[in-house]
A and B are shown apart, each in its own frame.
Chain A
Amino acid sequence: MTDTATPIDAAIAPSSGRSLGIKTKTYLYAALLIVAAVVLVPLLTTALGGFKTLGDLRGNAFGLPQTWMVSNYTDILFSQRYWLQMGNSLLIAGLTVFLVLTLAAMAAFVFAHVRFFGSDQLLNYFLIGLMFPAATAILPLFIRIRDLGLLDTYWGVVLPQVAFGLGMSILLFRNYFRGMPSELFDAAFVDGAGYFRFFWHITLPLSRPIIATVGIITFVGSWNSYILPLIMLNSESKYPWPLGIMVYRGEFSTDWQLILAFITLTIAPTVIVFFAAQKHIIAGLTAGAVK
């Protein structure tokens, strides 16, 4: 309505208003702490469990380890497979992000600024990809990748991931590009810049926020993805960590203390990066949704 409206979110609102009564505060904190406990207890016991022996774990899942079996963790950290899998995940995610950003930005640029016959229909064509998940066509996809000779290669995972991520990314980029003031175009035009130069010198540098958003969404999606690598990869040496975790579990079936250590180490990067870059990650993941 007006730009002087104050937000309801107390965390970002200016004044303090009426302070809450002590009864309300206690109730609030109690409820929040209980929910936080429900969230954290499984995670913390997993991390702690990695430090225990199996017997210790069985009898004392919630408490501190009787003896700190650091070797559970160090064995994994010094093993080749952990770093190999992390590296694989990083490589696949990196390639996916790079390709998605490049291809989607270019396509979105055309949709945002260039009028040509059939551009609306073409955009709708891409948006169809938003309507169904990769899983629906996974078998024909598998056949295609196999026939292209890309089975059991990184590209066999990256290319489909990129393809499925294009719909959303193109939409986000396009909306952002359209939101840029059109006077920029006029000024650049007067300065003698054509489409390509405008894209490279003006659009891209000004698009950092949306690049971050799309990058984060794509990276998180790829980093966590399971079904696509599961179907496309055979060699363990190429497995990203979600597959690695399942293989590990298969190997050590009831040695839960080892499995928990492995899980902790594989989600540790996620947790650390999340807390380090929370604002960006949350903004990225939810912005994609709201748009």
Chain B
Amino acid sequence: MSQLASSALSLPTGKTRMRRRGVGNRGKWPVIVLFLPPALLLFTLFVILPMGEAAWYSFFNWNGYGLPDQWVGWKNYELIFRQSAFRNALVNNGLIIVVSICIQIPLALWLATMVTKHIKGALVFRLIFFLPYVLADVAAGMIWRFVYDGEFGLVANVARFFGQAPPFWLADKDVAFYAVLAVIVWKYFGFHMMLFIAGLQAIDKSVLEAADIDGATGWQKFTRVTLPLLGSTVRLSVFFAVVGSLQLFDMIMPLTGGGPSNSTQTLVTFLYSFGVMRMQVGFGSAVGVVLFIICVTLAFSYKRVFMKND
């Protein structure tokens, strides 16, 4: 899965542990020739080439049949940036990142500290919190579409219980995306919590006992010992949040489909609605290229700037 995958930019420096092993120079070519090409072929054909082609097609106006013949230069890109739907998508993606950093990660960290304490059932709680992550985005989106439904949903039930008219949050363009954000937090906080649990497990308990003896209160222990030692985990968590937010599609479609009035578009739903649905290959490819550039820039610079010592 790309979301998980994008972490692994710990590129190998060829000099680490590259001792000569194995049978020696003579024996190695058969294995190279037999073992590498299948993966190489598949990868090039379905990942690299399409990306290159996207860059090429983005300069055309094309419906996908025959050959692209209508050269339009940068027009597709201009169109993209002029679309309000695209601007919404950018803003929304930014909002997701902000919410992830300000709400989801502290929440996950808080829960992680609680479920690693000595209480009965801590493991059961961990499972429950992780469960949403394992479900398909599509299913989660549909479940919450029901929750938010203004007629039959849970929200409607609760409103009627209090004698209020049921709200239609998902149909309200000013509120819809916030409703979506809530679902995103619901879906992914468990994953981040697991990351933090792993980070906490790496801390030596005696260090915290030493802090006890040094007279630190619970809060002081957390802020001055635990949190600094969790630095790399926090950075990793933010990285996943950022990378994941750029790929959000499956969850949006059943919830809102991108509407109302394009207020809940994300970069990928925008690509789908405006590129794929309308069979505008040139335009869609341009969106893909923009998405690609954003992804790669973010991934690269984040790793370089924030995570270089991890």
Contact of B114 among A28, A107, A125, A144 (CB under 8 A): A28
Q: Which of A211-235 contact B (CB under 8 A)?
A: 217, 220-221, 223-227, 231
B272 surroundings in chain A (CB, below 8 A) = 135, 138, 227
In the assembled complex, B179 has its CB within 8 A of some CB on chain A? no
Is B30 touching A195 in the complex (CB atoms < 8 A)? yes
B11 surroundings in chain A (CB, below 8 A) = 123-124, 127
Alpha-carbon gap, A227 to B34, bound state (A): 33
List 12 additional contacts besides A129-B43, A195-B30, A226-B253; criterion CB under 8 Å.
Answer: A5-B204, A8-B208, A11-B122, A61-B152, A107-B38, A110-B36, A131-B296, A162-B42, A163-B47, A195-B31, A256-B152, A267-B139
Interface residues on A, range: 35 or more
Chain A 105-149 per-residue mask, 1 if CB under 8 angstroms from chain B, else 0: 011011001111001101111111111111111111111100000
Is A196 touching B31 in the complex (CB atoms < 8 A)? yes
Is B249 touching A226 in the complex (CB atoms < 8 A)? yes
A225 surroundings in chain B (CB, below 8 A) = 136, 250
Contact of B240 among A32, A164, A289 (CB under 8 A): A289
A124 surroundings in chain B (CB, below 8 A) = 11
Asked, given contacts A25-B119, A62-B157, A245-B142, whether A106 binds B46 with beta carbons under 8 Å apart, the answer is no
Asked, given contacts A39-B131, A140-B57, A226-B137, whether A12 binds B42 with beta carbons under 8 Å apart, the answer is no
A139 surroundings in chain B (CB, below 8 A) = 54, 57, 64, 275-276, 281, 284-285, 288
A164 surroundings in chain B (CB, below 8 A) = 2, 46-47
Nearest 5 interchain pairs by C-beta: A168-B5, A224-B136, A163-B46, A5-B204, A137-B50
Chain B 286-301 per-residue mask, 1 if CB under 8 angstroms from chain A, else 0: 0011011001100110
Is A163 touching B43 in the complex (CB atoms < 8 A)? yes
* Chain A residues packing against B (C-beta within 8 Å): 1, 5-13, 16-17, 19-20, 25, 28-29, 31-32, 35-36, 38-43, 45-46, 49, 54, 57-62, 102-104, 106-107, 109-110, 113-116, 119-120, 122-144, 159-160, 162-168, 170-172, 178, 182, 185, 189, 194-196, 198-199, 217, 220-221, 223-227, 231, 242, 245-246, 249, 254, 256, 259-260, 263, 266-267, 270-271, 274-275, 278, 281-282, 285-286, 288-291
A/B pair count, beta carbons within 8 Å: 373
B1 to chain A, nearest CB (A): 4
Is A270 touching B134 in the complex (CB atoms < 8 A)? yes
Interface residues on B, range: 35 or more
Is A245 touching B139 in the complex (CB atoms < 8 A)? yes
- Best-surrounded residue of B17, B39, B194, B253 (most CB of chain A within 10 A): B39
A98 to chain B, nearest CB (A): 13
B1 surroundings in chain A (CB, below 8 A) = 165, 168, 217, 220-221, 288
B194 to chain A, nearest CB (A): 5
Alpha-carbon gap, A139 to B291, bound state (A): 13
Alpha-carbon gap, A7 to B272, bound state (A): 47
Is A107 touching B35 in the complex (CB atoms < 8 A)? yes
B118 surroundings in chain A (CB, below 8 A) = 10, 16-17, 19-20
